[in-house]
Amino acid sequence: MKKLIFIPLIFAGIVALVSANHLKNKNTYGFEKGTVALKSISALAFGPDGVLFIGDSKSATVFAIDTKDKTAASSVSAIEVKNLDQKIATVLGTEAKNVSILDMVVNPISKKIYCAAQLKDGSTALLLIEKEKITAVPLVDVMYKAASLNNAPVDTTDKNGRSPRDNTISDMQYADGALYVSGLSNQQFKSTFRRIQFPFVTKEEQATTLEIFHAAHGKYETHAPIKTFTTAELNGKKYLVASYTCTPLVLFPLDELKDGQHVKGRTVAEFGAGNSPLDMVTISRGGKNVLLMSNSNRPIMRVRYDNIATYDGSLTEPIKESFSTAGVAFVNLPMVNVLQMDKIDDSKVVVIQRKPNGDLDLVTLQDWILS
């Protein structure tokens, strides 16, 4: 009888040990421990509880990583890091000329900055910036989960040497329990907006193809991806606020962006051709929400959401004069060559800026610029 009792006890102990080890390798979102095998980094975005989303266009995959960076910042001061590219190069064992900054986001809990960089050989790195300290974020033995994207473009080059696969993911944002992803697909109308419920339990993806009237080009377009976007509530309704190369500003009602649908946006502004929008953030100033947008060939633009909400028109005719603007009013701020941008809070916006002397600096915008 003792043996008959002893054997089940051993078995129960083994089961308990295996279960404990299994739970140790999972977290509340069902993440498992492993190595994140990135082929590229196209975009970064933060979700809840210090979860960092990494968009990888080459593998057509979004990775959700538990950074374990969940301690709230007690206070936040202005940030300034001179010669950011040189310092990143030192961490990665190379020279600044070999480093390109791909994206930058601020953890809304800890207020620490995460930055994605690419080296000349095509390899990528994720970096953590804490004041003057820069460290590489390991992607081995981390808790993560992956979601593959459907209908990704084929990885072939066009006559200009560009691959549509590189724009599978152009921007990302977490909102209302889902990850929003803009980019391209292999569908007839290539410009696509995806919504993936987090934490990727079923990996179900809702995809909507998009169409806009591009006033600078004088035609309707379905092949160009959204370059940067955010979400906003205007007159009690939620919208996707998006901008494209050459630089239209377009509204899409979020409740119309349903799986399998094709949706035409309302173009509310043309901010000028010969330019590509790079980043968007929303801040609150004096109780009013304000959109800030950085650009490749123009200064940071400030657009008041009240002006967007009261503009009931739509641009449906070509711009008559090259590089001119139309639609919703905006203000050019005295900040140029801003490559990346994110907000620390409503009083502080951090940017990566190329200075006139060629230096690449990480700086906090002064309050008078934001007002």
Residues 205, 253: one domain? yes
Give a yes or no: residue 7 inside a domain.
no
Give a yes or no: residue 119 inside a domain.
yes
Q: Which of these three, 102, 121, 148, is where a domain ends?
A: 148
Share above pLDDT 90 across residues of the chain, in percent, rounded to a whole number: 83
Give a yes or no: residue 195 inside a domain.
yes
CB distance 16 to 37 below 8 Å: no
Residues 143, 163: one domain? no
Give a yes or no: residue 18 inside a domain.
no
What was the pLDDT predicted at 347?
82
- Residues whose CB falls within 8 Å of the CB of residue 77, separated by 6 or more in sequence, listed in order: none
Give a yes or no: residue 344 inside a domain.
no
How far is Cα 178 from Cα 198, in angstroms, rounded to an integer? 5
Residues 187, 283: one domain? yes
Which of the four pLDDT bands, split at 50, 70 and 90, describes residue 12? very low
pTM (two decimals): 0.91
CB distance 246 to 275 below 8 Å: yes
Residues 132, 165: one domain? no
- Flag whether pLDDT at 117 surpasses 50: yes
What was the pLDDT predicted at 203?
64
Q: What is the pLDDT of residues 337-361, one digit of tens each?
A: 999 999 998 889 999 999 999 999 9
How far is Cα 349 from Cα 341, in angstroms, rounded to an integer? 7
Residues 120, 175: one domain? no
Give a yes or no: residue 279 inside a domain.
yes
Residues 299, 186: one domain? yes
Residues 310, 268: one domain? yes
Residues 113, 88: one domain? yes
Which of the four pLDDT bands, split at 50, 70 and 90, describes residue 3? very low
Q: If DSSP codes are grouped into helix, strand and coil, which group holds residue 121?
A: coil
- Residues whose CB falls within 8 Å of the CB of residue 26, separated by 6 or more in sequence, listed in order: 32, 143
What was the pLDDT predicted at 26?
61
What was the pLDDT predicted at 9?
45
Give a yes or no: residue 56 inside a domain.
yes
Residues 175, 200: one domain? yes
Q: Which of these three, 317, 333, 349, is where a domain ends?
A: 333
Joined tokens for residue 367: 């309050």
Q: Which of these three, 132, 148, 164, is where a domain ends?
A: 148
Residues 180, 66: one domain? no
Quote the domain boundaries for residue 40.
Answer: 34-148
**How many domains does the structure of the chain reveal?**
2
Q: How many CA atoms lie within 13 A of 185 on its CB side?
A: 22
Residues 302, 157: one domain? yes
Q: What is the pLDDT of residues 16-35, one digit of tens each?
A: 444 444 445 566 899 999 99
CB distance 96 to 89 below 8 Å: yes
Q: Higher model confidence: residue 159 or residue 168?
A: 168
Q: What is the pLDDT of residues 250-270, one digit of tens each?
A: 999 999 999 999 999 999 999
Q: If DSSP codes are grouped into helix, strand and coil, which group holds residue 20?
A: helix
Residues 162, 108: one domain? no
Q: Higher model confidence: residue 156 or residue 323?
A: 323
Strands (E), 141-270: 142-148, 171-175, 178-184, 191-197, 205-214, 219-221, 228-234, 237-243, 248-253, 262-264, 266-270
Give a yes or no: residue 208 inside a domain.
yes
CB distance 109 to 69 below 8 Å: yes
